[in-house]
A and B are shown apart, each in its own frame.
Chain A
Amino acid sequence: MSAAPLLALDAVSKRFVRRLDAAEKIVNLFGGKRREEVVHAVDSVSLQIAEGEVVGLVGESGCGKSTLGRVVAGVHAPSEGRVLWRGRDVESLSGAERREATLKIQMIFQDPMSSLNPRMRVRDIVGEAPRVHGLVSGDEIADYVDRMLLRVGLDPSYKSRYPHQFSGGQRQRIGIARALAVQPDFLVCDESIAALDVSIQAQVLNLFMDLREDLGLTYLFISHDLGVVEHLADRVVIMYLGRVVESAPAVELFADPNHPYARALLAEVPRIDTRKRVFQPVKGEIPSPLAPPSGCHFHPRCPHAKPRCREQAPALREIAPGRMSACHLNDG
């Protein structure tokens, strides 16, 4: 890649701190040992996404996928590191440039109900932002909303209704229309089809693919469903407890995962064409992000763990062109 990537994360970390409340502070005055709890939801993640690319972000629950997605979309500010939009640090932008960067990155959420304001009609949900930002003039807004609804496959004659009057799949389409209405270049989809029925999932996935084709959108597609990511993504990034453990082109990753966690994860995916298989699960549970294991976070569950893995966190290194992995085994 010669040009600057559309979006880049430079050693981004996000920590959540649960502060002590007054009662706990008083307990501490009398010798209690309450401490602030810190979750390293995202731990120094670097990532480049090129224009037009679809990057799949996978990992188990609590590994920080949603947090990373929200940092990218500007909902959370990173605790450390920089988010670069077209090569420029988003934090350093202001005024019209800042707004431009905000609008160009939109998010599609998981829960089609809670992501739509229940007290607003569809035409306001979709039309509010373009009107407020003056993207469309007052007398064109009605037409504009109709076009957005058509684009996502909804009948514009329903635009005076409220979200609860639609099915889950339709609500998700409303959310997509709302995002498209501010003419974004980049969509962060956080488990956007997970709450839908199987047959509806296929419809919405197809819509995402059509939009990519027609509008040249770039995606960060967050999902725990590896089948979906394999189908859609050009590149897949796998996270474990806040860190990226492997990043590779989708075809190569699914053909030959490198990181032991990636291998375990891919092996567990139930596939429709493997019948009566004998499940041979990775042992152990997902550790709490409040107290992640030392060294390589995966070592308590890793079948290849060595003493070194307990002490030293492996760096994410290039193991082949375009492929990165964070495992000591790659050191030969």
Chain B
Amino acid sequence: MASTETPIAGIAAPRRADTPFRRFLSDFTDSRLAVLAAIGLAIVILAALLAPWISPQNPYDLAVVSVFDARLPPGSQSMDGVTFWLGTDGSGRDLLSAILYGLRISLSVGVASAAIALTIGMIVGLVAAYAGGRTEGVIMRIVDIQLSLPAVLIALILLAILGKGIDKIIIALVIAQWAYYARTVRASALVERRREYVEAAACLGLSHARIVFRHILPNCIAPLIVVGTVQTAHAIALEATLSFLGVGLPQTEPSLGLLIANGFDYMLSGKYWISVFPGVALLITIVTINIVGDQLRDALNPRLQK
């Protein structure tokens, strides 16, 4: 055995005891704006999660909502002395509470549809890249056709068929968006598949499933995360659009889009806040997600890494 030993002492310690995650963190925090956006996004998500506990009022509880408080401007007091910091809407709900609950619905719809679309697109993209040949050709044609149609159009048509409801809108959003993930995953899986570590895995007699999901997939995660964030923002915006157009969610569960639509009628009579504040909340959500997504793209881009 002695002859095999190349003196270990002669082999210096590997460089820097860092992990990919720590490197990523230091790259991500390079941009101040992105850190601010990440903090902002965290607050938005927390606010949505904690809505039932931090809202001054439960906007769905008809017992506490009074029509006499309808359309009060920001800062007004209610009949029983509660302050409406952002005013009230057309049916007398505290706007701040309505926004927090609406945010909750918008975010859940966006995240749920993005997660499902991501899973479907990821599997389809991986299969296409790994199988190649005819399978890949057929899958990618479908993806191309899907991507050439505007997402709103697809969603509108589907909702016209399916009807209203949270589940329906999630289905519509998933169908409108899975193709983006499929295309992204396929592109990076094609690159990874040609790497020698995949050949090495084949030499080691590992199964196709193991090669695809344990070896190729983890190396395609970075672009998926980036597309995932951006598409979540798209999904939220799309849902708002659909709700605004009146084909999305039912009035009983108002998302931000519906709140904006409801307030829109009062815009001309000077009661701007009913539409504008939900709009601002939507804007902040979408913009922070996009900034975070952009910085993720830079921080996760292997070509920019030294």
Contact = CB atoms under 8 A, between A and B. Distances in A.
Judged by CB atoms under 8 Å, the answer to whether A and B touch is yes
Interface of A: 70, 73-75, 99, 102-103, 105-107, 109-111, 114-120, 128-129, 132-133, 150-155, 158, 161-162, 165-167, 169-170, 175, 178-179, 182, 203, 206-207, 210-211, 213-214
Interface stretch (B9-17, B95-103, B122-130): B9-17
- Chain B contact-residue range equals 20 to 34
B218 interface: yes
B197 A116 contact: yes
Nearest to B205: A102
Given A153-B5, A167-B14, A211-B4, A128 B197 contact: no
Interface string B188-205: 000000011101111111
A115 B192 CA distance: 11
Contact of B4 (A70, A118, A179, A207): A207
Contacts of A169: 11
Contacts of A170: 11, 14
B48 to A, nearest CB: 32
18 contacts: A73-B203, A103-B204, A107-B199, A107-B200, A109-B200, A110-B196, A115-B197, A115-B199, A115-B200, A119-B218, A128-B214, A132-B210, A133-B205, A158-B13, A161-B14, A170-B11, A207-B6, A210-B4
A166 B14 CA distance: 5
B80 interface: no
Nearest to B5: A153
Interface string B1-40: 1011111100111111111100000000000000000000
B15 A75 contact: no
Contacts of A214: 1, 3-4
Contacts of B20: 118-119, 162
A128 B204 contact: yes
A204 to B, nearest CB: 9
B67 interface: no
Given A165-B15, A207-B6, A214-B4, A114 B196 contact: yes
B5 A102 contact: no
Interface of B: 1, 3-8, 11-20, 195-197, 199-206, 210, 214-215, 218-219
Contacts of B201: 117
A182 B204 contact: yes
Contacts of B199: 70, 73, 75, 107, 109, 115
Nearest to A108: B200
A209 B285 CA distance: 62
A75 to B, nearest CB: 5
Nearest to A204: B6
A57 to B, nearest CB: 17
Given A105-B203, A166-B14, A155 B8 contact: yes
B6 A74 contact: no
Contacts of B197: 114-117
Nearest to B202: A75
B24 to A, nearest CB: 12
Nearest to A213: B3
Contacts of A161: 14, 17
Given A107-B200, A211-B4, 7 more contacts: A70-B199, A103-B204, A109-B199, A117-B215, A152-B4, A167-B15, A182-B205
The 7 A-B residue pairs with the shortest CB-CB distance in the complex, in nearest-first order? A153-B6, A115-B196, A129-B204, A165-B14, A119-B218, A109-B196, A117-B197
A162 B203 CA distance: 21
Nearest to B137: A22
Nearest to B7: A153
